[in-house]
Structure 1
């Protein structure tokens, strides 16, 4: 998702992680639970137990996230998924977004900067929240789709976490990209914070 403004290419970049930084909890798992409904959610969680046990050993967040995508979203048309993501954002923005994070976002919005969300969650799920905030761009994990535009159950690239966040930023803004400021809340944001002039770690505490 991009919403370019005149002169954006020369503007300083301010990057916000999404889950846990701007939100009070993981948006993707909340979306999957909301979309699946109670019984289907619990059945899916039981079926994901083997993947969860593997995660205890390899700590590969991308692998277990892909397993969740296969379990809950495989075969879903892109158009339906986008519509569901919009409805989810409409219903959950007030209960998910941290007021102090939104206030900080709005302060930056008043300045001449490019505001982007950089998230490990699928960009298709986070995009409606980002549009509501007035983001210029969302950089996130990308789902793969088949020729009929249905979710395959895998990603089209690496999980956008840790070093991959900087890789993606360099692809978009050049190898010497430097951030005016960056906000994060876990070790998955360390590398992004390291390329920011103003790194902010776990500064938002408020709850809706």
Structure 2
């Protein structure tokens, strides 16, 4: 696998480094253990996923999903359940090729950054397992131990661009110093900003965009 000579490489998580999206994996894991997960699944399927596919995820919609997702749980309880989820199920969906590619970049001294729409609790679990020194994600807002939604900006679409810009600026860098790997057309704003965009296991919309822009494409699903 080719690695690029840039100081920073951003990686998406869902359907990129893992072969499913973490929200779906979480819902399926929780569904086997708690009846309440039926409500979460219905909300996600009826609202969140359809909006995501249309590129219309709003802060209110995603915050409402996370309030439902964590209802009846303190932050500490959610963290404990995510740890169980990751150990029992989540880690099984990491692409083997991901470890090889990340290791190649680590050998070059590249700063690796996971940038994902997953919440910070799940993102940190995957980030730690994959050896990421930096994780940028949606951040749960709390009132004490009560989860109230998500902080702004969302780590989604233009919000990802803003959060990536902050990371780079804090280090005296710019988008010309970065590459980005992702599977989703919702990440087009960030792909168009970095020096080296790479599409990874792309959905149909992103595959077409990659062909039009001449961006390199990796598809681990066929391997």
**When the two structures are superposed, what TM-score results if normalisation uses the length of structure 2?**
0.75
**RMSD across aligned positions (CA):** 2.9
> What's the CA shift string for 1:101-151, capped at 9, x where partnerless?
2221121111111111000111211101101111011101111111x2221
Taking a change above 3 Å as real, the CA distance of residues 196 and 68 of structure 1, as seen in their structure-2 partners, is: same
Match for 1:76 among 73, 76, 81? 73
Match for 1:34 among 23, 29, 39? 29
Q: Which residue of 2 aligns with 1:205?
A: 220
What is the alpha-carbon distance in structure 1 between the residues aligned to residue 163 and residue 72 of structure 2? 27
What is the alpha-carbon distance in structure 2 between the residues aligned to residue 165 and residue 196 of structure 1? 12
Structure with greater contact order relative to length (CA < 8 Å, sep ≥ 6): 1
What is the alpha-carbon distance in structure 2 between the residues aligned to residue 53 and residue 172 of structure 1? 28
Taking a change above 3 Å as real, the CA distance of residues 182 and 79 of structure 1, as seen in their structure-2 partners, is: same
What is the alpha-carbon distance in structure 2 between the residues aligned to residue 32 and residue 103 of structure 1? 29
Match for 1:188 among 186, 189, 198? 186
For 1:116-155, list aligned pairs within 5 A. 116-146=113-143, 148-152=144-148, 154-155=149-150
Matched, 1:91 2:88: yes
1:100 Cα deviation from its structure 2 partner: 1.6
Q: Which residue of 2 aligns with 1:157?
A: 152
Where 1:125 maps in the other structure, the secondary structure is helix
For 1:2-81, list aligned pairs within 5 A. 12-36=7-31, 37=33, 39-46=35-42, 51=47, 55=51, 60-62=56-58, 63-81=60-78
Instruction: Provide structure 1 residue ranges, at least 5 long, that are not aligned to the other structure.
Output: 1-10
Taking a change above 3 Å as real, the CA distance of residues 158 and 111 of structure 1, as seen in their structure-2 partners, is: same
Aligned length: 196
**When the two structures are superposed, what TM-score results if normalisation uses the length of structure 1?**
0.80
Where 1:61 maps in the other structure, the secondary structure is coil
1:96 Cα deviation from its structure 2 partner: 1.3
Taking a change above 3 Å as real, the CA distance of residues 64 and 25 of structure 1, as seen in their structure-2 partners, is: farther
Instruction: Provide structure 2 residue ranges, at least 5 long, that are not aligned to the other structure.
Output: 1-5, 201-217
Contact 1:120 1:141 in 2 (8 A): yes
What is the alpha-carbon distance in structure 2 between the residues aligned to residue 44 and residue 156 of structure 1? 20
